[in-house]
């Protein structure tokens, strides 16, 4: 068992670095995805506001076209009224229509004005968002480039570490021990081994019962810390 522990101690530093590089290797692209999603949400929000603006602009155009027609109608009615001075009933009818048109135009203009104000607001927001998004895209592009560079570096380092690990290990460890060790690497942040110093596990700083110390001293089987599960070894 001493030899097994020695072999494990020989790769633990590599495995700790492997664990960290692996985590970095996974973290960077994930972080980029999150940033991209945030940015896409902003773009979507901008498009929604722009859609609202376009609808409003169409409504304003409709109101303008309608009031233009009503004004033309009013001029026509005024002309007709001038020609019908002799006919009191007809004159009254034209005057009535003229008043209705005037009121409708007034109302439409008021509504139109409110729409124009709202459209100006929306336009300002779209423009502000466009500027924000353009800036964020620049930052994102730079970040994304860094992720590519760092991922490539991490990938290269992983290869080096794995090659070195293979070299040091050389198929010398029993598969069941390696299995326990590797599961602990994942479960314990890349540190699967712990020195037992004065019956205190240096991985979790808990004292172990006397029988654990005895078993470890006998060096017959693999001994794990009862608290943190790490594989224990005695100081040299």
Binding residues (CB under 5 A) for Zn ion: these are 201, 203-204, 225, 227-228
User: 14 or 204: whose CB is closer to Zn ion?
Assistant: 204
Q: What are phi and psi for residue 149, nearest 5 degrees?
A: -60, -50
User: 154 or 231: whose CB is closer to Zn ion?
Assistant: 231
Closest approach of Zn ion to the CB of residue 10, in Å: 21
User: 39 or 228: whose CB is closer to Zn ion?
Assistant: 228
User: 77 or 225: whose CB is closer to Zn ion?
Assistant: 225
CA dist 182 and 120 (Å) reads 62
User: Distance from CA of residue 45 to its chain's centroid?
Assistant: 15
Closest approach of Zn ion to the CB of residue 227, in Å: 5
Closest approach of Zn ion to the CB of residue 222, in Å: 14
Closest approach of Zn ion to the CB of residue 173, in Å: 21
Facing residues of 130 across strands? none
Return the residue matching tokens 């021990």: 177
Which is it for strands 193-197 and 200-201: parallel, antiparallel or unpaired? antiparallel
User: 46 or 188: whose CB is closer to Zn ion?
Assistant: 188
Closest approach of Zn ion to the CB of residue 203, in Å: 4
- Own/partner contacts of 203-209, CB < 8 Å, gap of 24 or more, are 203/228, 203/230, 204/228, 204/230, 208/232
Residues 6+ apart with CB under 8 A from 25: 151, 154, 155, 158
């Amino acid at each position: 068992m001493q030899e097994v522990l020695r072999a494990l101690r020989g790769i633990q530093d590599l495995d700790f670095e492997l664990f960290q590089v692996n985590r970095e290797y996974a973290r960077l692209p994930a972080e980029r995805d999150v940033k991209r999603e945030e940015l896409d949400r902003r773009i979507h929000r901008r498009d929604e506001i722009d859609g609202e603006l376009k609808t409003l602009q169409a409504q304003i155009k409709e109101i303008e076209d309608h009031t233009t027609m009503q004004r033309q109608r009013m001029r026509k009615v005024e002309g007709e009224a001038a020609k019908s001075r002799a006919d009191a009933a007809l004159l009254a009818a034209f005057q009535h229509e003229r008043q209705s048109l005037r009121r409708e135009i007034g109302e439409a203009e008021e509504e139109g004005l409110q729409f124009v104000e709202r459209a100006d607001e929306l336009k300002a927001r779209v423009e502000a968002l466009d500027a924000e998004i353009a800036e964020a895209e620049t930052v994102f592009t730079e970040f994304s480039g860094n992720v590519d560079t760092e991922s490539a570096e991490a990938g290269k380092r992983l290869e080096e570490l794995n090659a070195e690990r293979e070299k040091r290990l050389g198929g010398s460890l029993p598969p069941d021990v390696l299995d326990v060790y590797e599961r602990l690497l994942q479960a314990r942040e890349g540190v699967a081994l712990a020195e037992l110093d004065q019956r205190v596990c240096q991985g979790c700083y808990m004292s172990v019962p006397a029988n654990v110390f005895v078993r470890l001293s006998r060096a017959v089987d693999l001994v794990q810390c009862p608290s943190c599960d790490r594989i224990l070894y005695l100081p040299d």
